[in-house]
C-alpha cells in the first residue's frame, strides 16, 4: 500500500495505545494522515484519553478534536474488551462493560463524529468486529453478542451514509497475537489448540490489519461499503 496517500485527512482511531489499534494508527500515519489516537489510559500530542463507553468522555473528545483539527475524515472504531466466562458466571457489570465498550462505544463515536464527516462527499468508517460476529466458541457470550451487534450496525450505517459518500466497513479478525489474547498465548496447551485450528498454522500479525485498514481508507476502496472482511488465516473456511 505504498502508493496510498492520505495527506490532508484526519483520522480518529480508538483503542490506539496497543495491539491492532496501534498498528492501524501507524499505517494511517505512514500514509500521511493526521492520526488522533484515542485510549483510556495515555495522553500525548496527538493522543486523547477517552473511555468510549462514557457519553461525557466522547462529547469531550469530540470538542477537543474539532477544536484542534477542525474536521474528521476517517473514524476507526477499534476499542474493545473481552471477558471470558460461562454465561452463568457473568456479572451484569461485566456484561455491560463488554457491550458498553465494543458496541455502545462505537455508536457514541459515530454519533459524535459523523456530523463532522458529512458534506464533503468523502469519508471512511471502519468498525473492528471479529470472526466472533459470525461464529463463536464457549465462554464468549458477551463478546460475540457485542461484535455481532457491531456488524449489524455497520450494515445499517452504511446505508444511511451512502448518499454522503461515506463508506462504512467492518473487519472481522480471527486469532491475532495481541495483548487481548495474552491469556491464550501464554498458555501452551490453549495456544496449541488455537494454532491447530488455523489453516495457515500461526497467529495473525497485527501489521496485516494495519495494511487492510489503509486499503479500506483509500480511494481504491470507494465501492466497498456495508459488509465486512474476514481475516482469520482460514479458520472460518473449515
Tell the burial category of 170 from Cβ atoms under 10 Å away from its Cβ (0-12, 13-18, 19+). buried
Catalytic residue among 12, 15, 78, 143: 143
**Cα(34)–Cα(152) distance, rounded to whole angstroms?**
29
Q: Is 215 designated active site?
A: no
Determine how many CB atoms are found less than 10 A away from the CB of residue 101: 22
Burial code (b: 16+ CB inside 10 Å, e: under 16) for 131-149 equals: bbbbbbeebbbbbbbbbbb
Point out the residues that are catalytic: 143
Amino acid at each position: 500500500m505504498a502508493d496510498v496517500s492520505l495527506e490532508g485527512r484526519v483520522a480518529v482511531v480508538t483503542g490506539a495505545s496497543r495491539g491492532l489499534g496501534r498498528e492501524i494508527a501507524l499505517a494511517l500515519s505512514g500514509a500521511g494522515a493526521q492520526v488522533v489516537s484515542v485510549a483510556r489510559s495515555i495522553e500525548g500530542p496527538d493522543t486523547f484519553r477517552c473511555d468510549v463507553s462514557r457519553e461525557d468522555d466522547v462529547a469531550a473528545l469530540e470538542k477537543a478534536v474539532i477544536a484542534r483539527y477542525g474536521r474528521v475524515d476517517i473514524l476507526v472504531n477499534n476499542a474493545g474488551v473481552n471477558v471470558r466466562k460461562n454465561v452463568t458466571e457473568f456479572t451484569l457489570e461485566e456484561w455491560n462493560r463488554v457491550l458498553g465498550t465494543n458496541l455502545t462505544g462505537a455508536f457514541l463515536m459515530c454519533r459524535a463524529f459523523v456530523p463532522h464527516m458529512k458534506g464533503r462527499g468523502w469519508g471512511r468508517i471502519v468498525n473492528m468486529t471479529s470472526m466472533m460476529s459470525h461464529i463463536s466458541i464457549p465462554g464468549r457470550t458477551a463478546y460475540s453478542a457485542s461484535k455481532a451487534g457491531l456488524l449489524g450496525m455497520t450494515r445499517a450505517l452504511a446505508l444511511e451514509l451512502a448518499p454522503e459518500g461515506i463508506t462504512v466497513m467492518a473487519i472481522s479478525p480471527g486469532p491475532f497475537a495481541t495483548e487481548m489474547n495474552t491469556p491464550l498465548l501464554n498458555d501452551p496447551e490453549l495456544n496449541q489448540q488455537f494454532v491447530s485450528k488455523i489453516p495457515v498454522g500461526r497467529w495473525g500479525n497485527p501489521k496485516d490489519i494495519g495494511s487492510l485498514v489503509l486499503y479500506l481508507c483509500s480511494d481504491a476502496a470507494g465501492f466497498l461499503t456495508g459488509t465486512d472482511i474476514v481475516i482469520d488465516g482460514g479458520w472460518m473456511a473449515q
